[in-house]
Amino acid sequence: MKYLITLTFFLLTFTAFAQKPCEYSTNVTDSLGTYKVTNEYLISEKNFGGTFNYLFFSLAQTDGLPTLNVQSIQKSKDFIKANCFDKNSKIYLQLQNGKIVSLRHIDQENCGTLIRDDKGFDNRVNTGIFVFVKDNFEELKKSPVTLMRVKYLTNIEDYIIRPEITSEMNGKVYKPDTYFIENIRCVE
């Protein structure tokens, strides 16, 4: 009987701590190399006064080099200010353990694309690719993210990273603070 209880406890503990499998939106290996990208994940959602701001992360690996893809979507009937990424853009992630991890943008300027939809909203979609600093990569596996600062070409924006978001857009529950803990292994 003691053996059965121990076995049951072990199996329950094992399944509770098992990692979910990596899900990729792109996973290609060809003569040029390998490229894989995880599915986009909601990190921040702000809806105020008819203006909507969404921030998505996805992790990519190109021939062994891990990167963070950041997609910003702004939606409003009012003027939308462009937040451009350039070679000096950076992302700073403050971890729960007090450490700060920085990521550098690749040397490519991008101010996004403005698209008008059929409901009269202007939508600005901007994508940036950031590379990890080798020393900081390991820290992201250990501690949740509490705050993120994005340095754009002309301004700086801060985001509070919450433990859980129920998206108003699609009703799904996201856990952005542990995004790297759960997903960084998918691009190692």
- The per-residue pLDDT for 19 is 62
Comparing 9 with 81, the larger pLDDT belongs to 81
- The per-residue pLDDT for 158 is 96
Asked whether residue 7 carries a pLDDT value surpassing 70, the answer given is no
Burial class (CB in 10 A: 0-12, 13-18, 19+), 183: buried
- What is the pLDDT averaged over residues 112-141? 88
Kindly state the tokens that stand for 121. 């909203």
Look at the chain and count its residues. 188
pLDDT band at 15 (very low <50, low <70, confident <90, very high): very low
pLDDT band at 11 (very low <50, low <70, confident <90, very high): very low
- The per-residue pLDDT for 2 is 53
Asked whether residue 17 carries a pLDDT value surpassing 90, the answer given is no
Q: How many CA atoms lie within 13 A of 101 on its CB side?
A: 26
- The per-residue pLDDT for 29 is 84
Least confident among 31-35, 152-156, 174-178: 31-35
pLDDT band at 81 (very low <50, low <70, confident <90, very high): confident
